[in-house]
Amino acid sequence: MTHYILESKHKSVTLGMIAVGVLCLILSFFMEPDTLTGVGADGHAINTHARFWTNLLHNSVFFTGIAFISFFVITASITAYAGWYVAFKRLWEAFGSFMIVGLVFMMIIAIAGFLHVHHLYHWGGNIEGDRILEGKAGFLNNYWYTFGTLIIVGVWYFFYRKMRSLSLAEDEHGNAGYEHHKTMRKWAAPFMIIAGFTSAALIWQWVMSIDGHWYSTMFAWYSTASWFVSAISLTILVMIWLKSKGYYQEVTDEHMHDLGKFLFAFSIFWTYLWFSQYMLIWYANNGEETIYFRERIDNYPILFYGNLVMNFALPFLILLRNDTKRKYGTLIFVSVLCLFGHWWDYFQMIKPGVVHTVHDYIGHGNHSDALNDMEGHIDEVGHGASEFISGFTLPGFLELGVFVGFLGLFLFFVLNTLSKAPLVPKNDPYLGESLHHHVGYGGGNEVHH
């Protein structure tokens, strides 16, 4: 079958998942942990609804990143004259369609920050006397956050729409002289440069600045690698499902084997970045850098070590054998594990820092003063290590429900986009190479024309 048909039952499933996510998101607004509420000087209750806002931020960043990196891989492949992926490139094009949804959610968070509705970021409040945040105020402020998000994600989506229109036009008008593909290459190369710089700036503001007193020069690489592994995992899962419905018969076991190798290789690459970031900070032993890991090791050990087990140990051991990367059952299991594992990764990047920010705001701690005196802060990092905070220490049912809802929304846009064009780009000049793509079982590469 050359065209995907969005059946009513598929639409019903995705809409049902969205309904679950909306319900859980609403419940998380009202079910705030007691330790994240307080009483103000005027005697009125203080509720920052941190569980709601962190759940919205967590999933918005995670799925927007998957959409972005999927489109980035297309542009990188076009620039590199790659052809193996062409048979299923429409799936990655469909992934990219979610960027506009991510922009809407991130603008809601940005505008709410302007209005001081949420307290996700310590730099968004009163930073007077905090010499560290005062030094970063030129970049960490609501103006950069809001307009940076709007402009950067808007530019990403503009490039995406342009590339998507060229891809569809190539189907309609043929490939005489390869004019459409040449034009795509002219758009793809500058996007890679723009995306490389702007994605780092956004992930610094969206996620790293939650722990505003901390910084890492490797954080953008680390976060992007997590996005990429998640995108490959979701690609494998959706592709196997589509093939089970009779679609994408052009995608062979060799393509799936390649996707499995990407999943294996970039799980190791993610671990390399994780280790490099941790090792350099541990070796330097500077207080303003070690606070990030001390906080997670001491207070969130299941999040910290579970991250390594799900995203490195298990994928590495399972996919180490060559034949496991060709078995659909194994690929499904590891893809589900990695998709959830890297969602878990973003959970542990976001939640612990917000707990400190909220405690400062409601008066449960003196975190800002302690961070101005690093020795004092490090002494108190382990304080309250046994305290369990629902939805923060570990993902709860509401967090899982919101994840299901965002996944349903993502799939709804993907399937809807897939239904609007032929699944295989028939006039792409590299289609023949992709259809005859063969990877020798021993690992050698051959292309038959």
Q: What is the pLDDT of residue 251?
A: 92
Q: Please report, for the chain, the start and end positions of each structural domain, with discontinuous segments joined by +.
A: 8-430
The half-sphere exposure of 428 on its side-chain side, counting CA atoms within 13 A, is 31
Which burial class, exposed, middle or buried, applies to 355 when counting CB atoms under 10 A from its CB (0-12, 13-18, 19+)?
buried
Place of tokens 């059946």: 7
- Strand 37-39 relative to strand 445-447, pairing: unpaired
Q: Which helix (H) or strand (E) holds 437?
A: strand 437-439
Is-contact 151 115, C-beta < 8 A? no
Distance separating alpha carbons of residues 25 and 123, to the nearest angstrom: 25
pLDDT in tens, 350-399: 999 999 999 888 875 544 444 444 433 433 444 444 588 999 999 999 99
Q: Which helix (H) or strand (E) holds 374?
A: helix 374-380
SS3 for 218?
Answer: coil
Q: What is the pLDDT of residue 181?
A: 86
Distance separating alpha carbons of residues 285 and 291, to the nearest angstrom: 10
Return the closest-CA partner of residue 364 out of 37, 123, 33.
37
Structure letter (DSSP) for residue 311: I
The half-sphere exposure of 315 on its side-chain side, counting CA atoms within 13 A, is 33
Q: What is the pLDDT of residue 40?
A: 66
Collect all residues with Cβ–Cβ distance below 8 Å to 68 and sequence separation of at least 6.
Answer: 96, 99, 102, 156, 195, 199, 227
Neighbours of 77 (CB within 10 A): 18
Structure letter (DSSP) for residue 390: B
Is-contact 64 57, C-beta < 8 A? no
Is-contact 311 342, C-beta < 8 A? yes
Distance separating alpha carbons of residues 125 and 392, to the nearest angstrom: 21
Q: What is the pLDDT along the chain (449 residues), one digit of tens a residue?
A: 788 998 999 999 999 999 999 999 999 999 988 888 887 666 677 889 999 999 999 999 999 999 999 999 999 999 999 989 999 999 999 999 999 999 999 999 999 999 999 999 999 988 888 899 999 999 999 999 999 999 999 999 999 999 999 999 988 877 666 888 889 999 999 999 999 999 999 999 999 999 999 999 999 999 999 999 999 999 999 999 999 999 999 999 999 999 999 999 999 999 999 999 999 999 888 878 899 999 999 999 999 999 999 999 999 999 999 889 999 999 999 999 999 999 999 999 999 999 999 988 887 554 444 444 443 343 344 444 458 899 999 999 999 999 999 999 999 999 999 999 999 998 888 888 888 876 443 443 333 33
Distance separating alpha carbons of residues 410 and 171, to the nearest angstrom: 25
Which burial class, exposed, middle or buried, applies to 279 when counting CB atoms under 10 A from its CB (0-12, 13-18, 19+)?
exposed
Question: What is the Cα 89 distance to its own chain's centre?
Answer: 20
Neighbours of 323 (CB within 10 A): 9
User: Phi and psi at residue 436, in whole multiples of 5°?
Assistant: -105, 15
Distance separating alpha carbons of residues 165 and 149, to the nearest angstrom: 24
Paired residues of 47 in beta bridges: 37
- Strand 45-47 relative to strand 445-447, pairing: unpaired
Distance separating alpha carbons of residues 416 and 97, to the nearest angstrom: 10
Q: What is the pLDDT of residue 441?
A: 39
Is-contact 425 89, C-beta < 8 A? yes
C-alpha dihedral, 390 to 395 to 401 to 406, nearest 10° = 130
